[in-house]
Structure 1
């Protein structure tokens, strides 16, 4: 990398006294050391490159962000250390360039890099500044999700109000029709009673969908009591026993008997268990085993629901908590949304792991101590 300062220094060398030369060199060494210490202290990555894209300096932060070895990359093309980085395309753009990128090694992160010439008038190379924007991006996504959920809540309240009145009216009129049909003989009524039952069932189903949607997104205040998760789980399994038997699903419990009691809303937690167990049974149409395990640390309890079902494709994994997203013809797509809302209202979190044709594992994390944070819905 050429420098105008060095060019001027070389031209004047013949006219400098040895003491002056020594002073200049000491000053250069001191400034170089100072700049290196400053660059090393930065949390942002700094990479200096020459005109050909070869690395002349890289600080520790840049090495950590990109998983680079300083000795291996120094003097080499930056593209050798960053696969997929097109240095020539950046040069063609001219001037300063700022872009976001996603990296997968050494960690999955989102970065912003800014490349600009060191000097606009002389060919001194380029400086590249790198910032980790993973947290900023995550906060932005959470804000967007929070705004979306708020909009859905307002929409749901309006829809529930608008549909509630006509549904109630239809229910009343169908009840009146049912009373009149009972007064007719079977020959006159024909199959009207059967058709009436179908209509009443559909109205009941619509009312249930609206109730589930509101339960999935409407914030509620848990009624907390000190309860044992093992007891709530056994109560849920007792209720679902006929359905589990019909699905030919075997339940394997691997629960620590000493799981500590914690503050829970019993009805809400049982609703979450109910949804997860039913989902697991429906994911194994030919039968299989559902393993429910539970353990704890000093900070949290972890419950795991592991089925042997068909698994979830990578395309569908990103849509699991979208309202009304379902891969089943009879599903509402609200079950997991309800589970996540319940777990988050208890200060916990849900984690899903799945492999196609191997099954799905859903982990619930519930804190034993109060967290100094809350999720915004």
Structure 2
């Protein structure tokens, strides 16, 4: 885009028609604005998906923490150990600044700090106790209600137990109740205002309920028999599949959820080997059996997250498995908790897919690669996992849809072969997209199939594809609708009884249609699939639209570059011709200027030859010859100054000194005219980088020009001053002024209105100022006078600076 802008700018500078140049600039600005807007829309969409992904992660953390606390009740026989583990889990999972748990001592009318984790651990004293009458903790313990304060500075019930707590900004206390009796309080604090929300209250109340039950049970069941009964009750009440096995891996007990999943009653499977109950895929392929044996031997709990396996229905499921040793290592009993997280894993995979796809779409501006990325996202992984995907794009007239690209198998055999290869390679989405090669796409059977697809939007306005293009809506087409609405040849070509059709949208523009089906595994297309497919197409539509716009800009840039090259060549030819013309004009001017002096020199030289003995006449003639020679030398000197190719030799100089020297050099000129010199020099003038000899010559030319403008006498003022961007020298005369029709030509070589003069003085001065990156301008008023202003910049030492 920058190159295109440069090209258009250079076109304007090279003399292209102003109207055409303005149209090019407007069109380029519109393209830039569209590209920027579409990029912002894509970025906003990505931020939204990131927020959804983070929210889902937080929910997952909450569920994991609740399960950990619930399962911790089974793993810890000692109440103190359980409380400490629960407090640590809350602080770790929710990232609270400080978490403390107090137990209520009604007899002492106090709360006692039982466990603490976080920022105030070292500050709090061991065995700390606090009256029930003070603090937010005391209020929660007394009333049995949660209390949230997001600004403790304005909360009168806030109590600072030790100096470090003065940094607390937010505090939340939730009572732990058994029935109507408060047994303890969970207290969380933060050093930030507005740190907690209503969801934190709800989650901590759930935790408090869990902990209340666990604490009460641990205190009541001190004997081994009661502990066993307590464990069985907890196992039965957990919302996950729970079972206990012995050292020989035989089932000891199982809860209702586990029995429902294996399709048997507990009495039927109690005492049976675990390998005869659980799926071999889960035990062996997922490595669960080895993990169980390792946990029994080590006595250390183990957690296996996102274990994938095929359930009884043949569907792929995902579970979190927690292994917790029970009793002593000699007993070897093991609590196994299997929590089905298939839906959560699918949602995370969907959000991850959207996130990954957004990143991949941002990396390319190639339309075909973007289409391939979209189709890969539609057909790869657990998020959508369609068997096949097709893209149809409209022709230039918008009357027909034609098949553009497809990904997937054509036959059942090819489908099984592809799935087997993908399963062995474990390739991720990025690997699949990076493997994109246009020539390989063109060779596939599915690509040859889609390239033969054509659909007339005008002839079938009520068909599904026409409705997708017209209504910008995603449809699920099933069974008879395929034969009725899709029309030949799609029913026969796709050979599927159900497919989804979604629009590729960029703003209000429909770019094409995406088709997706499960022709080989016959998985039903549900509403959730349609929503995710629509989201993916919307996200890809923006990127594809940007790619199309970028391609158009590149095409226009290429056209502009070619046009610029042609103009540059024409300009160079024009410059060459102008140079030849200039050389001719200069030769004519020089010939004209030196003809009269040469004729005078020749005449007086011949006179001297005729009368060599007349000494006085010879001296007079020789004097005239010398004057004419000096005039010729002046003409040639000015010519050399005007055409000299080398730049100035700059060094730091004081411009006042240069002005003084120029005035001194002009002393003989002042003697010819009744003109007085007035100097107004700035004593604090900073030094600048200049070639003193050249600047002096330029000033001398302007001074002489001012003297010649006042033949009847007057006053010539030379002044210096410093401005923000450079040093200024102004030379003012009080002559007749320069007529408006003459001002534009005063710096043109050989242009002069004087009877005598070459017209080179001001032209030479202007070249000197240009070589110094400076400026010269004339301000004149007829009948008043003229001021020439010369400016040299501070910070631009030109080439040749020592």
**Distance verdict in 2 for CA 1:229–1:220, change over 3 Å:** same
**Distance verdict in 2 for CA 1:203–1:315, change over 3 Å:** same
Instruction: Find out whether 1:276 has 2:670 as its counterpart.
Output: no
**Distance verdict in 2 for CA 1:310–1:260, change over 3 Å:** same
Instruction: Find out whether 1:324 has 2:750 as its counterpart.
Output: yes
Deviations 1:39-65 (A, max 9, x none): 9x879xxxxxxxxxxxxxxxxxxxxxx
Deviations 1:306-362 (A, max 9, x none): 111110000101111222111211111111000000011011011111110011111
Give the whole-Å Cα distance in 2 for the aligned partners of 1:247 and 1:197: 22
> Of residues 166, 185, 200 in structure 1, which corresponds to 2:613?
185
Deviations 1:221-255 (A, max 9, x none): 21212111100111111222243244222222222
The equivalent residue for 2:726 is 300
Deviations 1:168-206 (A, max 9, x none): x99x99999899789x533xx784554454345434433
Give the whole-Å Cα distance in 2 for the aligned partners of 1:241 and 1:229: 19
The equivalent residue for 1:227 is 653
Deviation (angstroms), 1:304: 1.1
**Distance verdict in 2 for CA 1:175–1:286, change over 3 Å:** closer
> Of residues 659, 665, 677 in structure 2, which corresponds to 1:239?
665
Equivalent residues in 2 for 1:205-220, closer than 5 Å? 205-220=631-646
**Distance verdict in 2 for CA 1:154–1:240, change over 3 Å:** same
Query: 2:631 aligns to what SS in structure 1?
Result: helix
Query: Residue 604 of structure 2 contacts residue 622 of structure 2 at CA under 8 Å; is this kept in 1?
Result: no
The equivalent residue for 2:767 is 341
Give the whole-Å Cα distance in 1 for the aligned partners of 2:674 and 2:590: 41
Can you give the 5+ residue segments of structure 2 that lack an aligned partner in the other structure? 1-25, 32-567
Give the whole-Å Cα distance in 2 for the aligned partners of 1:277 and 1:369: 27
Query: Residue 249 of structure 1 contacts residue 288 of structure 1 at CA under 8 Å; is this kept in 2?
Result: yes
**Distance verdict in 2 for CA 1:145–1:353, change over 3 Å:** farther
**Distance verdict in 2 for CA 1:230–1:210, change over 3 Å:** same
Deviations 1:104-163 (A, max 9, x none): xxxxxxxxxxxxxxxxxxxxxxxxxxxxxxxxxxxx9x9999778844774589789999
The equivalent residue for 2:784 is 358
Deviation (angstroms), 1:217: 3.2
TM-score, scaled relative to structure 2: 0.25
Query: Residue 178 of structure 1 contacts residue 193 of structure 1 at CA under 8 Å; is this kept in 2?
Result: no
The equivalent residue for 2:89 is none
Between structure 1 and structure 2, the one with the greater Rg is 2
Give the whole-Å Cα distance in 1 for the aligned partners of 2:771 and 2:608: 45
Query: Residue 773 of structure 2 contacts residue 798 of structure 2 at CA under 8 Å; is this kept in 1?
Result: no
**Distance verdict in 2 for CA 1:200–1:145, change over 3 Å:** farther
Query: 2:628 aligns to what SS in structure 1?
Result: helix
Equivalent residues in 2 for 1:110-259, closer than 5 Å? 150-151=579-580, 154-155=583-584, 184-186=612-614, 191=617, 194-195=620-621, 197-199=623-625, 201-259=627-685
Query: 2:735 aligns to what SS in structure 1?
Result: coil
Give the whole-Å Cα distance in 2 for the aligned partners of 1:161 and 1:358: 34
Can you give the 5+ residue segments of structure 1 that lack an aligned partner in the other structure? 1-37, 44-139
Give the whole-Å Cα distance in 2 for the aligned partners of 1:192 and 1:328: 31
Deviation (angstroms), 1:214: 2.8
Give the whole-Å Cα distance in 2 for the aligned partners of 1:145 and 1:344: 23
- When the two chains are superposed, the root-mean-square deviation of aligned CA atoms in Å is 4.4
Give the whole-Å Cα distance in 1 for the aligned partners of 2:659 and 2:701: 12
Q: How many pairs align?
A: 232
Equivalent residues in 2 for 1:35-184, closer than 5 Å? 150-151=579-580, 154-155=583-584, 184=612
Give the whole-Å Cα distance in 2 for the aligned partners of 1:295 and 1:358: 23
Query: Residue 247 of structure 1 contacts residue 285 of structure 1 at CA under 8 Å; is this kept in 2?
Result: yes
Give the whole-Å Cα distance in 2 for the aligned partners of 1:276 and 1:331: 13
> Of residues 715, 729, 734 in structure 2, which corresponds to 1:289?
715
Greater RCO (CA < 8 Å, at least 6 residues apart): 1
**Distance verdict in 2 for CA 1:233–1:324, change over 3 Å:** same
Query: 2:667 aligns to what SS in structure 1?
Result: helix
**Distance verdict in 2 for CA 1:244–1:181, change over 3 Å:** same
Query: Residue 225 of structure 1 contacts residue 263 of structure 1 at CA under 8 Å; is this kept in 2?
Result: yes
Deviations 1:65-90 (A, max 9, x none): xxxxxxxxxxxxxxxxxxxxxxxxxx
Give the whole-Å Cα distance in 2 for the aligned partners of 1:218 and 1:153: 15
Query: 1:296 aligns to what SS in structure 2?
Result: strand
> Of residues 721, 724, 735 in structure 2, which corresponds to 1:309?
735
**Distance verdict in 2 for CA 1:265–1:156, change over 3 Å:** farther
Give the whole-Å Cα distance in 2 for the aligned partners of 1:371 and 1:223: 10
Deviation (angstroms), 1:289: 1.7
The equivalent residue for 2:73 is none
Query: Residue 300 of structure 1 contacts residue 367 of structure 1 at CA under 8 Å; is this kept in 2?
Result: yes
